[in-house]
Amino acid sequence: MRTLSSTYPDGLFLKQTYILKNNNLMRLAMQEAEASGFKAIVITVDSVVRPQHRTLPLKDSEFLMTLLSKEENQMVNYIFEEDEESYRAYKEGPLGLTKYMVRQGIRDTPMDIGVIRWVKSVVPNMKVIVKGILTGKAAREAVDNGADAVWVSNHGGRQLDSVPAALDVLSEVVDAVKGTQAEVYIDSGFRTGNDVFKALALGARAVFIGRPVLWGLSVN
């Protein structure tokens, strides 16, 4: 994070995080983001449900098997459990945080809305954005509990089948937070400028894209 912010000092950086079982790890990562000049914490709340590995199967690979290794992740879980010094010593070592988050870290229970206020208490100078919102009710609840912005997203259709398209619920979310200072962002399936203009016309403040960026980078 410090490398990014120092390399691109004029950039706008957001720190995305899942709701982890280990609050200490979340706290350390968020404080590192704050110290690195990041402007906001993005709490992703739609990962209680595991990705659609049945309909979108992952191919076996050495990388994936290492990523999902139970033994290695238990070691990471032990290291990061409560010990700040261990975290600082190992965060850039061979035991990656990705392994921790995939297998041991992400909570498998619905989000406690109080986590928004907890995040704001940990990094009071940062904005808090809640990502994975698909209803007006959820958007309003997040804002009423301290969220500075809500991010309409179905995780690019990867996480749970049969959820509505993000664009279809955008107007409902915008209406739900009307009269507040909260901004509304959106992602999931945007591929053209025409798509972006539609979202802006429906009230989104910003549109985020994911896979097209990777496709472009892969050309090089």
**Active site residues per annotation:** 155
Among 119, 175, 172, residue whose Cα is nearest residue 147: 119
Q: Label each residue of the chain as H, E or C.
A: CHHHHHHCCCCCCEEEEECECCHHHHHHHHHHHHHCCCCEEEEECCCCCCCCCCCCCCCCCHHHHHHCCHHHHHHHHHHHCCCHHHHHHHCCCCCCHHHHHHHHHECCCCCCCCHHHHHHHHCCCCEEEEEEECCHHHHHHHHHCCCCEEEECCHHHCCCCCCCCHHHHHHHHHHHCCCCCCEEEECCCCCCHHHHHHHHHCCCCEECCCHHHHHHHHHC
Contact in structure between 87 and 32 (CB atoms under 8 Å): no
Torsion of CA 195, 205, 48, 30, to 10 degrees: 130
